[in-house]
Amino acid sequence: MRNCDQPKICYLFTEGDTEWDYLDKFSKPYCNKIRLFRIRQISDPTTLATRAIEWLKAQKFDKKELEKTQAWLIFDNDNRLERVKEAFRLVKEYNLYNQSRRRKSLELKIAYMSPCIEIWPLMHFTNSFSDNRHRLQSELHTAFMPRYHHSNNPYFDLSILTPEGLNKAMVMAKQWNISLSGDEDYHASKFAGIFKIIEEIQSS
């Protein structure tokens, strides 16, 4: 198979199962163009970043593989801002080091969510959001997605997330991103960085 026909590869390092389950299911219709693989699942953002960097340092990619491969960290704020900031610092330091040495290494990207991952499906339905993650989790379950439960069934019901709702969520997420004016994502009280991975999947 020629390299141009090979699917894009995305290696994911996720905080929890919810993010992975959603992205894995969402990407299935695009499986001929992009493949997702979860490498690690660790709840703490700083530890997740550390393990992702260790894993990437141990890999060897040739030029063609680098053109078709990405690596992503996916984690929430979840009221632990200092751990989030440290994760961002580690990733920035790692990427800058590789750039300065012109190393053949993947850039590590971040899909950051605030206050929590549940804001993403809610963005498909509404424009008003609490800053409290527990309220968001409860609202998602009671008002829009009864099958979802943060503790007992932490998996989004994709059957009720319509293309129109996705478009609405993408527009909102991009607006939040633009409003940061170049600041780090964690400066936003509400953020849905998962849109960046959705864009990669859809553009493959």
Q: What pLDDT digit, counting tens, does each position of 39-50 carry?
A: 999 999 999 999
Q: For the chain, first and last CA: distance in Å?
A: 17
pLDDT at position 149, please?
96
The β-bridge partners of 114 are: 191
pLDDT digits (tens, 9 = 90+) for 72-107: 999 999 999 999 999 999 999 999 999 887 767 899
For 112, list phi and psi in degrees, rounded to 5. -100, 140
Q: How confident is the model at residue 1 (pLDDT cuts 50, 70, 90)?
A: very low
Query: Distance between CA atoms of 143 and 130, rounded to whole angstroms?
Result: 14
> 10 Å Cβ neighbour count for 127?
8
> 10 Å Cβ neighbour count for 79?
12
Give the mean model confidence (pLDDT) for residues 161-178: 97
Dump strand ranges (E) for 1-103.
8-14, 34-41, 69-76
| pTM across the whole model | 0.93
Query: Distance between CA atoms of 38 and 51, rounded to whole angstroms?
Result: 13
Is residue 110 within a helix (H) or strand (E), and if so which, with residue range?
Answer: strand 108-114
**For residue 200, which of 61, 23, 42, 25 has the smallest C-alpha distance?**
23
Q: Which two tokens stand for residue 55?
A: 């894993």
User: Parallel, antiparallel, or unpaired: how do β-strands 108-114 and 34-41 relate?
Assistant: unpaired
The β-bridge partners of 58 are: none
**For residue 107, which of 30, 199, 7, 10 has the smallest C-alpha distance?**
10
Query: Distance between CA atoms of 87 and 37, rounded to whole angstroms?
Result: 21
